[in-house]
Amino acid sequence: MRINLSPQRRDDTLEVFKTGDVLTVNGEDFDLSPIGNGDTLPASAINSKWFFDKVDRSDGELVLTLILPNPFNYSHEQAFPVPLENVPDGPVVFPGPLPELEVEMAPEGDE
């Protein structure tokens, strides 16, 4: 399976778990196994805001595009993601954000 990523500045989260041709996206299962070699499932046929484009099966491999939500502290890897190739079963690992900066507050009375 190849997962292309389409970054968008958003504050929601995306959690994906892969089991064979089934993707569990934020707790909702999408069974992509009926897509045959050379077939295309249009994005309009998928009832999910996370699928950005069609799903194809080419040379036996599923190819799809998911929206990648980028938080305010997004990293270069999130802004310009590379496709995830040969995605193994289990949790799908997406590029992570930059660390959040912690702002220290001066104790009251110290100015």
66 within 8 A of 16, measured Cβ to Cβ: yes
- Residue 55's alpha-carbon distances to 77, 89, 94, in angstroms, are 23, 18, 19
Give me the pLDDT at residue 94, please: 96
| Gyration radius from the chain CA atoms | 18
Task: Read off the pLDDT of residues 17-72 as tens digits, 9 standing for 90 and up.
Answer: 999 999 999 999 999 999 999 999 999 999 999 999 999 999 999 999 999 999 99
Identify the three-state secondary structure at position 2: strand
Q: What is the mean pLDDT of residues 102-108?
A: 55
What integer is the mean pLDDT of 96-101? 84
Contact 64, 46 (CB under 8 A): no
Between 1 and 104, the higher pLDDT residue: 1
> Higher confidence at residue 109 or residue 81?
81
Confidence band, pLDDT 50/70/90 cuts, at residue 100: confident
- Supply the DSSP string of 16-58, one letter for each residue: EEEETTEEEETTEEEE-TT--TT-EE-GGGS--SSB-S-EEEE
